Amino acid sequence: MPTITLQHVTKYYKSDGRKVPAVQDVDLTIQQGEFVFLTGSSGAGKSTLLSLMAGKVKPDRGRVCLDGKDVARIPKWRQQRNLLKFGQVWQEPSLVRRQTVEENLELVGLIGAPEQPGPSHSVENRVRKVIGLVGMQGYEKKYPVELSSGETRRVELARAMINSPPILLLDEITANLDDDNIWDMFHLLTEINRGGTTVVMATHASQYVNLLRRRVVTLVDGHILGDVSKGRYGEIM
Ligand code: ADP
């Protein structure tokens, strides 16, 4: 099962013709099965760090490795397989508006379908399973516009889980949700993590981070300032 390792990772973005670091000299190892909160103020580098882990952006310096293999050096033909290791939910709404919940899930489920799926691995079966996992039975034929923000986030999580990835990367998945929905989401993620899935989650939901007491990595100006097991929100030692 994959371990994520970042070694001296730096990522710059260009702003007004200048190179501005979003993540600076980050060393971080996340073992399979961990539950990690990424905290820090807006602009601290949380999303960039998640994108680096997923291989969505490449580091300007340093290495991002999955089980010791440098993600940047994975040949193109194997990148698809590598992507299947990550379930991802990003800040921007991403369901296809003209497709139903079921069709949205099938679309991603097909990418991870084994060449000769047995009945339990068929896409239909996996769609049914993840819809059950996130408690969205009865919503299969609905369109994204008919869903509340909490329901939309659940469907996005179901889509992230459909290929049973070993790692979940989540960026502000509870932003704009009310307290009940936030709590349900944290509960669900705890259950998923209990099943062995690594969860790495950028969040501002301090109250829930403090209740759950998992590993808390705090970023300030692209640097890791704190990395505390069973930590509290923003705790640095
Ligand atoms: P956070 O998720 O903690 O809010 P981000 O990783 O989104 O932080 O951003 C870190 C820094 O990088 C910020 O200063 C932000 O403005 C900058 N940044 C992020 N993405 C881009 C981009 N695509 N182009 C230019 N600058 C970016």
The answer, yes or no, to whether residue 119 has pLDDT greater than 70, is no
45 CA to centre of ligand 1 in angstroms: 6
Q: Is the CB of 195 under 6 A from ligand 1?
A: no
User: Is the Cβ atom of 48 under 6 angstroms away from ligand 1?
Assistant: yes
Q: Which amino acid is at 102?
A: E
The Cβ-side half-sphere exposure at 99, using a 13 Å CA radius, reads 12
Helix (H) / strand (E) element for 88: namely strand 86-89
Q: How far apart are CA 38 and CA 88, in angstroms?
A: 15
The reply to whether ligand 1 has any atom less than 6 angstroms from the CB of 22 is: yes
Structure confidence at residue 75 (pLDDT): 77
Q: How far is the CA of 52 from the centre of ligand 1 (A)?
A: 12
pTM of the model: 0.94
User: Residue 70, exposed/middle/buried by CB under 10 A (0-12, 13-18, 19+)?
Assistant: middle
pLDDT in tens, 188-229: 999 999 999 999 999 999 999 999 999 999 999 999 999 999
pLDDT of residue 115: 66
Taking residues 9-15, what's their average pLDDT?
Answer: 95
